Structure 1
Amino acid sequence: MPVLTRDEAQTRARLLDVHRYEIDLDLTRGDEHFGSTTVIRFTAREAGATFLEVRPAALHRATLDGHALDIATLDDNRLPLTLTPGDHELRVEADMRYSHTGEGMHRFTDPADGETYLYTQCFLDDVQRVFAAFDQPDLKAVFDATVTAPPQWTVLGNALATRVGAPADGRWRLATTAPLSTYFVAFAAGPWHTVRTEHAGLPFALHCRRSLAPHLDADAEELFDITRRCYDRYHQIFDEPYPFDSYDQAFVPEFNAGAMENPGLVTFRDEFVFRSAVTDTERQTRGMVIAHEMAHMWFGDLVTLQWWDDIWLNESFAEYMGYQVLSEASRFTGTWTDFAVARKSWGYDADQRPSTHPVAPAPDAVRDTASALLNFDGISYAKGASALRQLVAWLGEKDFLAGINDHFARHRFGNATLADFIDSLARATDRDVHAWADSWLRTSGVDTLTPRITEDGPEGAPGEAGADGTRGWRLDLHHDGTRPHHLAIGLYDHAPDDPRALVRRDRVETDLPAGGGTRTLTFTGPRPALLLVNDGDLTYAKVRLDAGSWDTALRTLSGLPDPVARAVVWNAARDMVRDGELAPAAYLDAARAHIPHETDIAIAQAVLGFARTQIADRYTPATARPTVLTTLTDLGHDLLRRTDGTGRADAQGLRLIAVRTLIDSATTPGTLQDWLTAGTVPGGPALDPELRWRTLARLAVLGATTPDAIDAELARDPSATGQEGAARCHAALPDATAKATAWQAMYPAEPSGPAEPAELSNYLFTATAQGFWQPEQLDLVRPYRERYFPAAVTVAARRGPALAIAAGFHGFPHPLVEAETLRLGEDCLRDADPTPALRRKLADQLDDLRRALRIRETPADIRPQA
């Protein structure tokens, strides 16, 4: 499919002024196709040639100002147009295909009850899979829509929807929208279960498929409470009121992203309707996503990027505001701890790969929509949000919000660029925001901050004597990088009444200039037991610990009073492991010593996750892996013992994390089989569906279950999640036939029928791939490694970007941390011409593989040096 280039978009924007779309969809034409009729009213500023985008199953007719166009001129997804100056009306009638990859109009039949649900994901350039459009973000228009659906269904959209005609007709009309970019247009249809309320004069609603109704009802008040609180907080800090007529939140099946900010109809992956036990951190994450998507109503929907080089303006802003507003408005006050220990690592990792890019890439670096899709990564989200948090720390929140409100006022219902945003901030402050933006937004890579402490150096004592007669000490803070940083340095001492605890003596804020170098600070009194650079996590940089501080951390990390400070230390340890400066075993020793005493669920979750998935599965040679798994098992049992029967508020979440770790790390089946038979872990938690499938998957890996037992569990839980669990378990069996069957399902030699639904959905593909590649089964899966790369190239080319991303990430042979995997992957990138989405994923996976190979060579005793 031809992709839209930036030059083409600019040319078309100069030619056209698009006013209105009238869309009519018929969702009653069977399981494969739906009807789509579009009328577009627009003005051509001058005579010229352009094109319309549409990707039909069948294009029936097209007229321009009542005159028939030759539909045979449709070239893939482009219908050419020759225009005279003035007003025009374009009408297009087509049949469109339902999708099973989460792109365009996705169709899903719930295996739990046979009900069918539809929803759209028009993001970036997929609106043309739903209706004909001039598909670029800076050609905003108003939208009117009518939809015909089965009579028992409910239809949702960007504006209030009402039934028209007789109920048996199944006809719905949506109110006229405010001006929107095409990629924001959204529909959802099906027999939704709905919970409604009203707030601030607006209708609010939650929607999910009927089989999830009890679980949505159980959480509806929490979801509405967060929604109301965030809505009110945004109205306190933004001058512009909420710009749409309603606020629907639909939890939809098989959704590829976390959520999508469609104006008035936010769509979420329906895993956020929790049907099993979750930690409070996972509830907090759901709340953050609600706050994130609501921020988009202003930054993204009200004011929209002009071209895709500025996607960070949408995502970084919503990411920052999501964490900040949730912490201010709800009971979830620890959002920045989770951001520090879990979310920022996504940005750090992406920023150290060859595929890194600036937060705000140069416009010519995003030459088309295919390259734009590659920038939806940890840089546009986590690094960009970190940059904004640093900007607020440097600029002050008052001036930051003044600049934001200026930006909204100047560009409401229009489009804006990075330059417009920076100009708005500059009008609100005397600081040089343009220079800040050049340093932070136009550069790539991660700065590193390394402290060196001198108590009695060759030039004599660096500081004045303290009141107790001690000499001073000097901090030389080396800045390897280019960006300016406003940061805090925490000085921590041992608590006088508890050697396992620390107290903060002082917190010193300082500025590091752009350009790198060393900044020297002098202090009186004794050196601290622990010196923490970037205390409070205000900036985005890798930090190191000096040898003395690392020794203190090993003894007292769980006694550091501030969870954000603990998160910074854990992140530093993680980065040192990845950079070959700390042995993975040393990280495990710290986890073994301190996670059983950790009170913050986000920290425990992140540390155990890194230890289990990266250290155990990737950074540790196969011969040493059983020892690592034993360490994690011992840690999990210790955490269970320390939370058994306690009244600690965090006990339930910590026990759940411990049980997940124990299941995933088990090397023998006995305990897991006992739990599965009893239906509970002694002392809790009970094995709900998620834990049952998790347990069965590990038993499958260990060869301790059968296909019949998996099928019996599926009969017990015939939900969509159950289907995914069964696919994962079957693929995980250490059996040649099971592997061959799973491989054929993921990579059929030919589509098994003329219609796409015969192939796996993205979710079932992902579940199968997750089960297939297991470190315990290297000899069994190694023969598939050479087949993987050509198979992934083929399936990505046939099924599109969303499946390509799944094949390049979940499908990659992660356990085969071997030079041959690297060689085959490099050959693929060089010779096989993978699609852009797959190429990016493979390039990232191969870079991670190179890192894992280097880490496996890390000396076992390496640690921070004095």
Structure 2
Amino acid sequence: KVAEALRERRAITVLHELAHMWFGDLVTMKWWNDLWLNESFAEFMSTLAAAENTRYAKEAWATFSASEKTWAYRQDQLSSTHPIVAEIRDLADVQVNFDGITYAKGASVLRQMVAWVGQENFMAALKVYFDKHSWGNTVLDDLLVELERTSGRDVRAWSAKWLETAGVNTLAVEVENDEAGNISSLGIRQSYAEGFETLRPHRAVIGFYNLVDGKLTRTDRIELDIDGELTVVEEAVGKKRPDLLLLNDEDLAYAKIRLDERSIETAIKHLGDIDSSVARGVVWGSLWDTVRDAQMPARKYVDLVLNNIGKETNSTALRTQINNLSATLHSFVAPEAREETRHRAADRLWELAKAAEPDSDAQLQLLQAFINQTRTEEQYDNVQRLFEGELTLEGLDIDADLRWNLVCRLATGGRFSAEQIAEELENDNTANGQQYAVQAYASLPTAEAKAEYWNKIMVTGELSNMIQRYAISGFKSCKPELIAQYDEPYFEQIEGIWRSRSHEISMQIIGGMYPSVPTAELLERTEAYLASLPEDAAALYRQIAEARDGVARALKVQAADI
């Protein structure tokens, strides 16, 4: 059994590849700087198709918000960010630009374009574009001219700001009300990050949400164009100020959202009560951004997630928040509070898993989250009792994959031996079983197991693509001190690995084997390494720099976790 999020992801992937029949096959970009003409369009059209023609229609855009947009915002705030229409100098540039900008940001910006020009105009332009350029190669302007003709808007000026510049804007709500509780002024202030000095036009919706019978329900809606540093929303003046004033309701805009204080308080208290999965996704994303920008303490965010994910019904949103929770526990919580917070979080995840509806998607995801966060002996006892069948959850079937999940965690905790792993593999000697067995072996908390898999990953290179992925996961699933001795050898060996192995294999190792614990010492060592790289290692520099960015952000967020 897999999470519904993965089933939906498979559907989106199939639709994405089908979209290449038009974007990529019928009409192909002239050069790789217009790679987005393939990938961004395929990513956008796959979600549009899912939203209009599949059983995922109700949740497709909420899923897009939780997955693609989360990926896009993260990628766009790395030092390696680039315009959607990227400069491609060589084939190494091509490989690393199959990234969150080309796929997720490009698709997000296309959704914004559709909102800006109108979907009918957008589709009419595409029909002319494909008719005119069938079996040929195009450049960006070939599409823009058709969009301008059908919409009557200055799409070239729009493109210059959206497709040809990098960075993400922040849109912040500024609101005041009178003594009667009516809005006296409402403004949307737009800003940019240092080094990315572009203010962009945004088509967005402001939703007014009020508590009605225990649910946060939209009671009013304003759709508008936002442009420049300050946009005054005259239409809102005189309206009753709602419990939640949600900027970017419907998630049309591509921007970081900052809510007013009253709305934040409402959102934190009633996030799970918002009756729109897309609106919940916008709130989840906004609050996650405030943590990453060190404006909300990490432990407050941990509590927010643990208090609300039990009510989340969108499978991808649940999966994303579990992943964000894991990242927060690992990297963002202040070091002195990390272990206690992780223990408390795992206990809460266990309670949520037990309380979840039997045989539900939430039950499976919350249980897997608990297993992966297990730290204390009591928590490991529960994992072991689940494995041995002494403890059961109503409706839960311990199938092959979940059994391996338990095995890998028990191996990490020193509760499973190599001999027991071999027995499990004998009983499930499938492709999946072989991958999980490698993860379990690499998870064993012994110096010998870590040395063996360090050698297989970093020295001999004997592991296949998928097997290596599982081996890296197992190698890193341990107390940091057990593998701290490999931090310096990583920097000594990584350039040779990058030069001698395939792009996919080396990319896994560069990111996956990078030292685990964000510290000032690791940041300093990484900076020194980057300064030492030769000019012809630009693609390696980019990947290490992204890891460096993660450490720098983590240290900043840790300092704010007070």
TM-score by length of 1: 0.62
CA–CA separation in structure 2 for the residues paired with 1:290 and 1:718 = 29
1:653 aligns with 2:361: yes
How far did residue 825 of structure 1 move? 1.9
The answer to whether the aligner puts 1:323 opposite 2:47 as a matched pair is yes
Whether the aligned pair in 2 keeps the contact of 1:292 and 1:321 (CA below 8 Å) is yes
C-alpha contact 1:796 1:804 (8 A) present in aligned 2: yes
Measure, in 1, the Cα distance between the counterparts of 2:390 and 2:16.
Answer: 37
Helix, strand or coil: the match of 2:287?
helix
Q: Which moved further from structure 2: 599-608 or 618-627? A: 618-627
Q: Residue 483 of structure 1: which of 200, 206, 209 is its match?
A: 200
1:512 to 226, 236, 243: 226
Instruction: Describe the superposition over 1:283-315 as per-residue Cα deviations: whole angstroms up to 9, x where unpaired.
Output: 111111111110111111110111100001100
Q: Show the counterpart of 2:559.
A: 857
Correspondence 1:494 to 2:219: no
Q: After the TM superposition, which residues 37-116 of structure 1 pair with which residues of structure 2 at under 5 Å, given as runs?
A: none
Corresponding residue for residue 558 of structure 1: 272
User: Does the 8 Å CA contact 1:557/1:566 hold for their aligned counterparts?
Assistant: yes
**Please, which runs of 5 or more residues in structure 2 have no aligned partner?**
193-198
The correspondence of residues 660-739 of structure 1 with structure 2, limited to 5 A, is: 660-667=368-375, 668=377, 669-678=380-389, 681-739=392-450
**Secondary structure at the counterpart of residue 624 of structure 1:** helix
SS at match of 2:251: coil
Equivalent of 2:153 in 403, 420, 431: 431
In structure 2, relative to structure 1, the CA distance for the partners of 1:433 and 1:471 (3 Å cut) is: closer
Amino acid at match of 1:828: Y
1:837 Cα shift? 3.6
| 1:739 Cα deviation from its structure 2 partner | 0.9
Letter in 1 for 2:475: F
* Contact 1:632/1:661 (8 A) holds in 2: no
Aligned partner of 1:787 in structure 2 is: 489
Residue equivalent to 2:518: 817
- Does residue 379 (structure 1) correspond to residue 379 (structure 2)? The answer is no
**Aligned residue identity for 1:487:** A
| Aligned amino acid, residue 765 of structure 1 | Q
**Given the superposition, is the C-alpha separation of residues 625 and 713 from structure 1 closer, same or farther in structure 2, using an over 3 Å criterion?**
farther
Equivalent residue for 1:759? 462
Structure 1 residue aligned with 2:255? 541
Distance 1:681 1:475 in 2: 53
For residue 451 of structure 1, what is the amino acid of its counterpart?
Answer: V
Counterpart Cα distance in 1 of 2:171 and 2:240: 22
Q: Deviations over 1:699-758 (max 9, x none)?
A: 22222211111121111221222222122222222111111111111122xx5xxxxxx7
1:426 CA drift (Å): 2.0
1:331 is matched by which residue type in structure 2?
A: R
**Residue identity opposite 1:772 in structure 2:** F
The residue correspondences of 1:584-623 to structure 2 (distance < 5 A) are 584-612=298-326, 614-623=327-336
Question: Quick one: distance in 2 between partners of 1:471 and 1:780?
Answer: 59
C-alpha separation in 2, matches of 1:693 and 1:794 = 34
Contact 1:485 1:512 in 2 (8 A): yes
Q: Retained in 2: the 8 A contact 1:805–1:837?
A: no
Name the CA shift for 1:857/1:721 in 2 (closer, same or farther; >3 Å).
same
CA distance in 2, matches of 1:695, 1:619: 26
1:596-630 Cα offsets, whole Å, 9 max, x none, are 12222222221112102x11111124442333333
RMSD: 1.8
Larger radius of gyration: 1
The answer to whether the Cα contact below 8 Å between 1:782 and 1:816 also exists between their aligned partners in 2 is no
**Residues 371 and 788 of structure 1: CA distance in aligned 2, closer, same or farther (over 3 Å):** same
Query: Could you list the per-position Cα deviations for residues 70-123 of structure 1 after superposition, in whole angstroms to 9, with x for gaps in the alignment?
Result: xxxxxxxxxxxxxxxxxxxxxxxxxxxxxxxxxxxxxxxxxxxxxxxxxxxxxx
Secondary structure of the corresponding residue to residue 560 of structure 2: coil
Aligned to 2:22: 298
Task: Map 1:281-296 to 2 at 5 A.
Answer: 281-296=5-20
Partner of 1:569: 283
Rounded Cα–Cα distance in structure 2 between residues aligned with 1:736 and 1:566: 45
Specify the SS of the correspondent of 2:220: strand
User: Cα distance, 1:471 vs. partner?
Assistant: 4.5
* Contact 1:483/1:516 (8 A) holds in 2: no
- Report the Cα offset of residue 429 of structure 1: 2.3
SS at match of 2:450: helix
SS in 1 for 2:35: helix
CA contact (8 A) 2:68 2:105 kept: no
Structure 1 residues 484 and 663: alpha-carbon distance in aligned structure 2, compared to 1, 3 A threshold: same
Is the contact made by 2:118 and 2:151 (CA closer than 8 Å) also made in structure 1? no
- Number of corresponding residues: 550
Q: Distance in 2 between matches of 1:535 and 1:285?
A: 23
1:28-78 CA-to-partner distances (Å, cap 9, x unmatched) read xxxxxxxxxxxxxxxxxxxxxxxxxxxxxxxxxxxxxxxxxxxxxxxxxxx
Unaligned 5+ runs, structure 1: 1-276, 462-468, 646-650, 752-757, 861-866
Name the CA distance, whole Å, in 2 between partners of 1:573 and 1:631.
21
Equivalent residue of 1:554, what SS? Answer: helix
Residue 390 of structure 1 contacts residue 540 of structure 1 at CA under 8 Å; is this kept in 2?
yes
Aligned to 2:195: none
1:343 aligns with 2:68: yes
Which structure's residues are more often strand, by fraction? 1
Q: What's 2:141 paired with?
A: 419
What's the offset of the Cα at 1:679?
A: 8.8
What percent identity do the matched residue pairs reach?
Answer: 35
Once the two structures are TM-superposed, the CA of residue 638 in structure 1 deviates from its matched residue by 3.5
3-state SS, counterpart of residue 543 of structure 1: strand
Alignment-derived partner of residue 359 in structure 1: 84
1:407 & 1:791 partners in 2: Cα distance?
Answer: 49
Q: Distance in 1 between matches of 2:508 and 2:166?
A: 26
Deviation, structure 1 residue 671: 0.9
Equivalent residue for 1:831? 532
Letter in 2 for 1:280: E
- Of residues 636-645 and 526-535 in structure 1, the stretch that sits farther from structure 2 once superposed is 636-645
Hey, what does 2:92 align to over in structure 1? 370
Contact 1:770–1:811 (Cα < 8 Å) also in 2: no
- How much has 1:399 moved relative to structure 2? 0.9
Q: Aligned ranges for residues 236-275 of structure 1 at < 5 Å?
A: none
SS at match of 2:360: helix
Alpha-carbon offset, residue 528 of structure 1: 1.0
Distance 2:111 2:189 in 1: 22
Letter in 1 for 2:557: I
Question: How far apart are the structure 1 equivalents of 2:538 and 2:394?
Answer: 50
More deviation, 298-307/673-682? 673-682
- Kindly tell me: are residues 811 and 623 of structure 1, through their superposed partners in 2, closer, same or farther at Cα, counting changes over 3 Å? same
Q: Which residue of 1 aligns with 2:196?
A: none
Query: How far off is 1:680 after superposition?
Result: 7.5
Separation in 2, partners of 1:652, 1:773:
30
Q: What's the offset of the Cα at 1:801?
A: 1.4
Task: Determine if contact 2:170/2:257 at 8 Å carries over to the other structure.
Answer: yes
| Aligned CA distance change for structure 1 residues 659 and 681 (closer, same or farther; 3 Å) | farther
- CA separation of 1:849/1:372 partners in 2, compared to 1, >3 Å: closer, same or farther? same
Moved beyond 4 Å, runs of 4+: none
